[in-house]
Amino acid sequence: MKTLTRNDHSHNITPRKGDGREIMENEQRVSRKIVIHYTAENVDQPIICQLVKIHDLVFNILKARIFPKREGIIVLELSGSPENFNNGIRYLKEQGLKVEPLSKSVNQNADKCVHCGACTAFCPTDALFFEMDTQRVLFDAEKCNGCELCVSACPVRAMEVNIF
């Protein structure tokens, strides 16, 4: 598998009022896509609500499969300062949840891919893209949101998404 890794730290530029002048301040933030696995025992707990309140994080739900008294899965994009992010992940694990990066659940099977480019037309995040120099389709796992559009687009079933 040819998987690119990119640092997806983002820098928010926040204007701040000073002595009559506006100055720009760089504030480092991280944004990561994660898969959270609930057990039947903790699926009804308001853990995500507590997570964002206690650790000052922002979340965006990308996917979810939750039923009462059954194992469940939520895919989130979680953003905040690096320290808050790490504390938040620790908090989730302390609550008995299993947490994994989404990138572990999506794979471009190098043995099957013929670099036809069909998937690049469907991928909404540009996680799949054509590299002109090598004439190959590459996969940037950090950009992937797990939507699975590439799975049905691929004629040889080279894209594998194993979230649920």
Using DSSP bridges, classify how beta strands 22-38 and 98-101 pair: parallel, antiparallel or unpaired: antiparallel
Q: Any contact of residue 138 with ligand SF4 (CB under 6 A)?
A: no
Cβ-Cβ contacts under 8 Å for 6 (sequence gap 6 or more): 140, 142, 143
Q: Which of 30, 127, 129, 142 binds ligand SF4 (CB under 6 A)?
A: 127
Q: Any contact of residue 159 with ligand SF4 (CB under 6 A)?
A: yes
Q: How many residues bind ligand SF4 (CB under 6 A)?
A: 29
CB-count exposure of residue 94 (10 Å: 0-12, 13-18, 19+)? exposed
Judged by CB under 6 A, the chain residues 65 through 124 that form the site for ligand SF4 are 106, 108, 113-119, 122-124
- Classify each residue of 40-66 as buried b or exposed e, where b means 16 or more C-beta atoms within 10 Å of its C-beta: eeebeeebbeebbeebebebeebbeee
Query: Which listed range, 4-12, 59-67, 89-97, 125-133, lies at the site for ligand SF4 (CB under 6 A)?
Result: 125-133
Q: Which of 84, 128, 129, 142 binds ligand SF4 (CB under 6 A)?
A: 128
**How far is Cα 24 from Cα 16, in angstroms, rounded to an integer?**
6
Residue written as token pair 């559009």: 149
Q: Which of 49, 156, 162, 164 binds ligand SF4 (CB under 6 A)?
A: 156
Q: Which is nearer to ligand SF4, 48 or 154 (CB)?
A: 154
Type of residue at 153: A
Q: Which residues bind ligand SF4 (CB under 6 A)?
A: 106, 108, 113-119, 122-125, 127-128, 137, 144-150, 153-154, 156, 158-159, 161
